[in-house]
Amino acid sequence: ITDFTGGVIAIFAMHTFGRKTMLVFGHAMMGIMELGAGAFFQAALPVPMYICLNGFILSFSLTSGPVTWLYISECTVDTATGLVVLGLYTSCMQQVLSMEFLMGSKNFGLSGTFYLFGFENFLCVIFLILFVKETRGHTDAEKKMLYVSEATQAKYGKQVSSDPAKVVPAEK
C-alpha cells in the first residue's frame, strides 16, 4: 500500500517539482528514515521502526524510484544509451545493496546496517547537489545536451530541437 501510494503521488509531484529537487529531497528523507529505523531498532521500539521503514518506502516511491528512470531517459541522447545506463544502474545497485546488507548486518548488526544506509543516502545528497543538473525548465533538446561537453557541442553543433534534422551546424 505504501509503495503504491508513493507511486501515485509521484505522478503528480513530477509535474510540480524539478527532478534534481525530488532526488535531493528523496535521498535526504530516505537517510533520515533509515537512521530513525536504526535508532528505533536499537532501542527495541518496533512500532516507530516500522513507521520509519514505511517512510523510507514512501520516500523511495515518491522520488528515487520513478525519478531516476525518468531523469536518465530525459538526459540520454538515444534509447540504447539510456537502456544501458538504466541496466547498469539497476544491476549495480541491486548487487551493492544485497551484498552490503548481508555483510553489514553480519558485521554491524541490523541497526548498524540502517545507520550505514542512512549515511550513504546523505552521501548521495551531496553527489546530487554537486553533479546532477536540473532538467526542469529545459526543452527536450536542451535536456539531451546537459551532459554533452562544450567541445563536443562545438565540434558537432548544438541541437536546438528534438528533431535531428534541425541541428545548428558547428561554427568554423
Q: Tell me, what's the pLDDT at 161? A: 44
Q: Which 3 state secondary structure label does DSSP give 171? A: coil
pTM of the model: 0.72
- Distances from the Cα of 169 to the Cαs of 28, 57, 137, 143, 156, in angstroms? 42, 47, 24, 19, 7
Residue 67: burial class (beta carbons within 10 Å; 0-12, 13-18, 19+): buried
Cβ contact 52:40 at 8 Å: yes
Determine the pLDDT at residue 38.
Answer: 93
Residue range 108-143, pLDDT digits in tens: 777 888 888 888 889 888 988 888 888 888 887 777
- pLDDT-derived band at 82 (thresholds 50, 70, 90) equals low
Residue 6 CA to residue 11 CA, distance in Å, equals: 9
| Structure confidence by residue, pLDDT tens digits, 15-73 | 788 888 888 998 999 999 999 999 999 999 999 999 999 999 888 888 888 887 777 77
Cα separation of 114 and 105, whole Å? 9
Position 4 confidence tier, pLDDT thresholds 50, 70, 90:
confident
What does the block give as the cell for 60? 523511495
Q: What is the pLDDT of residue 88?
A: 67
20 and 135 in contact (C-beta within 8 Å)?
A: yes
Contact call for residues 132 and 147 (beta carbons, < 8 A): no
How much is the pLDDT for 98?
Answer: 63
Question: Average pLDDT, stretch 79-108?
Answer: 63
How far apart are alpha carbons 52 and 54 in whole angstroms? Answer: 5
Contact 87, 69 (CB under 8 A): no
